Each structure stands twice: as structure tokens, then as C-alpha cells.
Structure 1
Amino acid sequence: MDQTAPLSIVADIGGTNTRIALARGTEILHDTITRYKNAGEPNFPPLLERFLAEHPDANPEACCVAAAGPVRDGRVEMTNLSWTFDKDDLAAATGASVIATLNDMQAQGHALPYLKPEALTNLREGAEASPQAAMLIVGIGTGMNIAPVYHSASGTLVPPAEAGHPLLAVRNDDNLRLCQYIEKHHGFPSVEEVMSGRGVARIYEWLSSEAGDTQVLEPAEIMKRVEDGSDPIATETARHFVQIMGSVCGNLALTLLPFGGIYLIGGVSRAFAPLLDKMGFEESFRDLGRFGDFVDQFGIWLVEDDFAALTGCASHLQDLLQRPH
């Protein structure tokens, strides 16, 4: 670790918990990582003040916050919390002179060049690519979103996206009936309404309704039944999920051309990773007509690093601090 690198404060705000840490350059000081419960907190900046009170010797030069919600012009509006704040609020709370705000997916994208090999599991081989090749983060967990990652001489660019909210593409009759069921019972059939934890429950609910006995189960219970093989509807739910996941990822690959690879993150991605090979992911990923062979160039990895968003915040700040002013 470069002890002369600027000290920064970084944070990853989720819907339930917030993690805050100090970083030196692109290295997270792991003994400073602190988790706070969001419930009962009026807003985020007071958590920064509490953290710094617990680390009185810290005098961060820079601050970067990743949040699970839309970020525009430095202003953060949390999706599942009533918190809103901006760069001025962060500067006042930390005293830092360089302030940055990212959505959580952007932070994951900025972390990619710094992930340790043991944090990556290859799920699909791709063609050899230049280190400067574009990459793609696909996050599937409580919600779904993506982050394209581009490299240049001036640093890493990770533009924001809201890819979970467009209409889910329909490829076959099953997809159509699923979308019609979701629209009737749950509203607009977006990608996220299927590609998420609640999407697993939606698919199970739809399949059980078609079988004549509508059941609403928690995603964890459905995955338990998939694992022990006790429930054919759960197994079929997993198959539908994996195939739609393959189709969504294939369409994204063809749209964004991530020759540097597709990187899956999130709890739902982790849960389904062992099922991809045997439940039709590959066939759906390549179901792109005459471009089916073309997407063979794109490798797919599973990312397992709980602190990647913090690393991404630190690396983004390093880019900012190194740019000529």
C-alpha cells in the first residue's frame, strides 16, 4: 500500500445497511469498515459524521458515496429510503475537497480492474480481449441493473443506467403469458419484475396459477425446493428464470459489445450461477439469429466480493485526484 496516497472516505449505501470505510489510494483499509443500520436514520450525512467521530485522526481529502438509487448532477435520491442528499452535504459532513457520487452499479464497474482473481469465477469462456476492452456489470439481486465499463487514458468511465425498468422482451408463448400475468397482478412487466428476487417469486406464482393452485412463496423457499428437488414447480421456475436471464444477457451483450467480459453480481446471480449450465442459459444467450455465433466472444464471470463497491468508490476518487486540474 502506498502510504503517501491521499486518504479518502468511501461509502456503500444499500436499502437496509450502509458500509463506510477509509481508503488509501485504491486500497480499502479493511479494519475501518463499519456497517450501520439505515432504519431510524433521518439521512445519510449524519452517518458520515458519526463514522469520522469514531476515527478522529482521519482527515480525508476526498469522499465518494455509492447509493442504490438514481444519481444526477451529484444529487442522490435513494430508491427504497426517504434519504436525499448532494455533494454539498457530503462536503459539509466530511470536510473533503473532492466529492463524488455514484449509483451502486457504477461503483461496481469502477472496481473491476482492482478485483482479486479469487473474487472471480468463470462461468463461460470468451475470446481473448485487450485490457482496454469494454466490460459489462449485470447486477441481479433485490433489483436488476447494469453498468457498462469503458477504459481510456484518462481513467475508467462507467455511465449510469436504469436497465431493469424497460419492458421485458418476449421471445415465446411462455414469456408472453408470464408478462400478461405480471401486468394483470403486479403492474408493468419490466425486466426487473422477472430478473430479481421478487421475479423468482413472480414466476413461481404464475406457474402455480397455471397449474390451478396459485401459491406465493418467498424466493429463499423456492430456491430451497429447487436444491432438494422436492417441488417440480420450483424446478420449472428456476428453468424459466435461467432462460430469461440468458436472453437478457445475450441482448445486452449484442447491444454493448463487452469484449472484456460480462460480470454478474448480486445475491440472485450467485444463487443461480450453479444452475446456468443445466437449465438453458447458454442456448438462450446465443438465441440471436445469425448473431448467435458472434456472442461466443463474450466471457461471463461471477463476482464474489462484498466490498467491491467500496473499492470502486476508492478507484474512482483516484482517477479524479490524478486528473490535471
Structure 2
Amino acid sequence: MADHDPRRPATGAALTLVADVGGTNTRVAFATGGQVDTAAARKFRNADAAGLAEVLGRFHAEAGAPPLTGASVAVAGPVHGGTGQLTNLDWHFDAASLGAALGLAPARVGILNDLQAQGHALGFLKPGSATEVIAATRDPAGTQLVIGIGTGFNAAPVHPLPGGHRLVAPSECGHVTLPARTAEEIELSRFLARDNGFPGGFPGVEEALSGRGLGHVDAFLAATGPGGLPARDSTQIIAALAEGEPRAHRAAALFVTLLGRVAGDLALTHLPFGGIALIGGMARALAPHFAAGGFTAAFRDKGRFSGFMESFAVDLVEDDLAALIGCAHHQLGLSGHESDKLS
């Protein structure tokens, strides 16, 4: 008997397509009953395609174009009225165009923000997928919060509903004002507004806390320091961290402090007594520097509410396919759980 082609899904059960569309890459897989076929998941470089419909159509065709019952797509950008738009890439798409590429009616295609997908994945990740960053007592029935730090920055609260369902609310909180407190942070904020040419001189959170944000922080230190190395991108900075370069360590420390402060603000906004999950490539890359950068101290530094901040646990999620798992469970909601349709 011939070996099964891992690109071709097994038949006999309701099959859905799930996708996690980031600013740089798109991950695609098949799922059945909420279970993602991770062995056959593929990653595509967005720069190699004209749009998302091309990527999804290619994945589907190369797997033999099996009949699908639905698709669920997580987008690193705002979703409104059934239309998705990437924040850091000029891709626009809707349920009709994606459905046409997959042989599906538009009603069978769900589009949600990528942080919403991460929220739907909580509780379904494999054991060992998360590492504790801040310990605290967790309320199993409490709200949770997902914070994503990668190509961009965003967060989504996960509210429990009766019957084991959940409401995962969208947001675009990466574009609120950066909370600068110290003299250095205020200068960084001014640098972001002035030297990066944002409309109206606006320094958003994502311009400091993301992949390019780490580059902006490093460029600020290069511009205001005694001279030396030119500004670099995040990959170069992380490599310099491994070599012990002082400016890279200063950039990481400033990034981590600001991340702790912003995460603390979001905790007070949403009260996630069920815990906070940090996700994304930049979160994972800088996690070894959380202690030196004072993440916990910055997270809890909220004046008379500093003691209250000890109520919130924080984990680092290290599963790259978590958004696909969330998409699979979101698709189950589209298929029959009315309460999940709210998200």
C-alpha cells in the first residue's frame, strides 16, 4: 500500500480550511472537528503572492482540491463587515473572493482578527505550549486576555459564556498612544512621532512594541547615544543580543519595560483573572530578557493598584500554530453554536 501524501487530507469527515494571515507569512492547514492537521500545515511567504485568495487556492489545489465544508481565516489587521485588511501589507479580501477560490459559498467563510483566533485557541493547546512568566491564582471562570507581539501589536479579551462557549472581542489596541513615563521614554515617543513621519506626530504602541518597533527603539538609541553602530532591524538586534552587545541589551530592556507597562494597562482595562497569554515572535524572542528588563515590575507599577496587579497571571505561548487551532474552533461555532457567532 502506498504511503499517504501528507499534503492530501484524509477523507470521510467534514473538512475545513484554516489560515493564519500575518504581515509576513501565511500559515494554512486543514482541520476536522476542531482538530488541525498540523503535520500537513504549510507556511507561505506573502511577498510571493498577489493576494490571500491565491495562497489559499494554491494550498487547496496542491492537496488535491478536497471538498470543504467551510474555511476560517485569521487576519493580522481589522475585520469589519466581512472584509479583512492587513495592517502591514496591502492585502484586502472578503468572504466572497476567498470562497470563490475554495469552492465555498461566502456564508461558509469566516474572517476574524488574528488575536481573536488566538483567544479561541486557549484551552485547546497541547500540554507544554505555554511557559509561566508571572505566577498568580487563576479563576477558571474568569476573563482571559491574549496579547500579540510580532510583526504588529494587538490584544483580545476572551469572555466565558454559558455552555462552555466564549466571546472573543476584536480590538486594534496596538494603535493607541504609547504610555511614556520616564524622560527617556518621552524622548522615544517624540522620536517616533518626528523621525518616522507618522501623521500628526502620533506615536502608537505598535511603533515601539513589534518587530519594526524594536528597530525603532534601537534607532532611537543610535540617534541619542554617543555614536557607533547604525540602526538595525529586529533580526540583527536579536543576533547582537546573543553576542552581548550593550546597545542591543539597552534596546531590549527599554522594549521589555514598555511591554510590561502596556500589558499592565490592558490588564486593568479587561480584568483577566483567568490569565494573560503573550503570543508572537517578538514575545518569544525577548522573553529571556524579561527579568533584566523589569517586565514584572513595569506590569505591576500602577500606583495604589500595584498590589491589585498581583491578581493576574501571565504566560508565554510558544505554539506557532495556535491561531490555526483557534480558527478550527471558531469554524465549529460558525457551524452550529449560536453564542460563538457573536465573536
* Conserved 8 A contact 1:156-1:319: no
Tell me what 2:55 maps to. 47
Of the three residues 221, 229, 240, the one matched with 1:225 is 240
Q: Which runs of 5+ in 1 are unaligned?
A: none
Distance 1:293 1:39, change over 3 A: same
Q: Is 1:145 matched up with 2:154?
A: yes
Please identify, of 143-152 and 44-53, the stretch whose mean Cα deviation from structure 2 is larger.
44-53
Q: How many residue pairs end up in the alignment?
A: 321
Tell me what 1:135 maps to. 144
1:17 maps to amino acid: N
2:318 maps to amino acid: E
User: What are the superposed Cα offsets for residues 68-111 of structure 1, whole Å, 9 maximum, x if unpaired?
Assistant: 22211111122233332211223323233522101211111111
Q: Is 1:105 matched up with 2:77?
A: no
Tell me what 1:114 maps to. 124
- How many Å separate the matches in 2 of 1:142 and 1:115? 22
Of the three residues 36, 45, 53, the one matched with 2:44 is 36
Instruction: With the length of structure 1 as denominator, give the TM-score of the two structures.
Output: 0.92
CA RMSD, 1 decimal? 2.1
1:133 maps to amino acid: G
User: What are the superposed Cα offsets for residues 255-310 of structure 1, whole Å, 9 maximum, x if unpaired?
Assistant: 11011111111111011111112321111111101110111011111111111111
Q: Which runs of 5+ in 2 are unaligned?
A: 1-10
Please identify, of 106-115 and 11-20, the stretch whose mean Cα deviation from structure 2 is larger.
11-20
Please identify, of 301-310 and 273-282, the stretch whose mean Cα deviation from structure 2 is larger.
273-282
1:153 maps to amino acid: P
- How many Å separate the matches in 2 of 1:237 and 1:17? 26
User: What are the superposed Cα offsets for residues 92-148 of structure 1, whole Å, 9 maximum, x if unpaired?
Assistant: 232335221012111111111211121111111011312x31111111112111111
User: What are the superposed Cα offsets for residues 140-191 of structure 1, whole Å, 9 maximum, x if unpaired?
Assistant: 1121111111121262211111111111112221211111122221132111
Tell me what 1:170 maps to. 180
More helix by share: 2
* Conserved 8 A contact 2:142-2:272: yes
TM-fit CA distance, 1:5: 5.8
- How many Å separate the matches in 2 of 1:191 and 1:17? 22
TM-fit CA distance, 1:211: 2.2
- How many Å separate the matches in 2 of 1:57 and 1:181? 50
Distance 1:207 1:25, change over 3 A: same
1:74 maps to amino acid: G
SS, match of residue 149 in structure 1: strand
SS, match of residue 301 in structure 1: strand
- How many Å separate the matches in 1 of 2:47 and 2:243? 35
Tell me what 1:182 maps to. 192
* Identical counterparts, % of pairs: 41
- How many Å separate the matches in 1 of 2:185 and 2:19? 38
SS, match of residue 173 in structure 2: coil
Q: Is 1:273 matched up with 2:287?
A: yes
Q: Is 1:17 matched up with 2:32?
A: no
Tell me what 1:86 maps to. 94
Distance 1:227 1:16, change over 3 A: closer
SS, match of residue 207 in structure 2: coil
Distance 1:172 1:311, change over 3 A: same
TM-fit CA distance, 1:221: 2.5
Q: Is 1:216 matched up with 2:231?
A: yes
Tell me what 2:308 maps to. 294
Instruction: With the length of structure 2 as denominator, give the TM-score of the two structures.
Output: 0.87
* Conserved 8 A contact 1:71-1:77: yes
Tell me what 1:285 maps to. 299
Of the three residues 141, 152, 157, the one matched with 2:167 is 157
* Conserved 8 A contact 2:138-2:275: no
Tell me what 1:246 maps to. 260
Where do 4+ consecutive residues of structure 1 move more than 4 Å? none
